[in-house]
Amino acid sequence: MQQIRYYVTFRLTNVITLHMQSLSIPEDAMSDICLEFKNLTLGYQGRAAVHHLSGTAERGVLTAIVGANGSGKSTLMKGIAGILMPISGTCEQHFGRLAYLPQQSELDRTFPARVVDLVSLGFWQDRGLLGRITRRDRAKLAACLDAVGLTGFEKRPLDSLSGGQMQRALFARTMLQNADLILLDEPFNAVDERTVGDLLCLIKEWAAEGRTVLCVLHDHALVREHFRQTLLIARKLVAWGSTSEVLTSENLRRARNFHEAWDETAGWCEDERSNSSSVARQDDEPKQRVAAHV
């Protein structure tokens, strides 16, 4: 069965970069598995930022990705989206459409566009970048703006929006993309508490509809309360499974030790052992500095 995977790297600069990639999905792919990583290593200029990651993401489950700054969370998201190609290993994908929402810091809001222009990009997979938006499309757009609390903001320039309003607009665009897999990279950064609550409700609705949501977060209390699964990363996999089993003091200590031991200049890597338990683990305390992969 041939599926088409779309993803958008959206930067409000002089250009909007759109990517489309075709991929084959096995007919016998397990219906409850959305993503499967096999010894996946990702990085930049041949040096690893994510190191030999293995595991599976279940369909229709909210999964938080947590770890210290620089631990490879955003790199993993870009690898799933296809923006970064693996250095080694594979990311097997069993879904149709993908929506990727990067950090707000990656967007240039000085580009002269309005809220309606940004949200309308959610139609591009069906209409094309220059395709005509129908009356039904406009009704869908209005419904999405209402769902995120931005009714009446259609003609507002993006550079006039607060951080919370901008994130609401980006969530409205994501809703229009009608994706099976949704990647959210730090969606609550620089966002007010009320907006966080409203957007969390939308994320839960997406999961209830059977969509898979992977969300990079820093707030462990929020993760414990709202996310069933958690992936803890420190350049390499520390633990992946039930949030209550992953976010333990021992695992967080191990993640901190792995992160502090990472050597950016090393030119070799050591294969980690895979663990088939419900909470995936890798080697215990590092006996030497963890080396990057070339």
On the question of pLDDT at 43 being above 90, the answer is: yes
Helices (H) and strands (E) in the chain, counts: 9, 14
- CA contacts within 13 A on the Cβ side of 68: 19
- For tokens 């994908």, the residue is 93
Residue 134: pLDDT band with limits 50, 70, 90: confident
Q: What is the DSSP string of 187-233?
A: TTTT--HHHHHHHHHHHHHHHHTT-EEEEE---HHHHHHH-SEEEEE
Q: What is the DSSP string of 169-187?
A: HHHHHHHHHT-SEEEEEST
The per-residue pLDDT for range 187-243, each reduced to its tens digit, is 999 899 999 999 999 999 999 999 999 999 999 999 999 999 999 999 999 999 999
On the question of pLDDT at 3 being above 80, the answer is: no
For residue 226, count other CB atoms closer than 10 A to its CB: 18
pTM (2 decimals)? 0.80
Highest averaged pLDDT of the listed ranges 14-18, 252-256, 268-272: 252-256
Chain region(s) in the chain for CATH 3.40.50.300: 32-96+180-192+205-253
Residue 174: pLDDT band with limits 50, 70, 90: very high
Residue 130, C-beta contacts closer than 8 angstroms, at least 6 positions apart: none
Q: Report the amino acid identity of residue 165.
A: Q
Coil, strand, or helix at residue 77? helix
Q: How far is Cα 275 from Cα 250, in angstroms, rounded to an integer?
A: 17
Cα of first residue to Cα of last residue in the chain, in angstroms, is 34
- CATH dotted code for 32-96+180-192+205-253: 3.40.50.300
The answer to whether 174 and 211 have CB atoms below 8 angstroms apart is: no
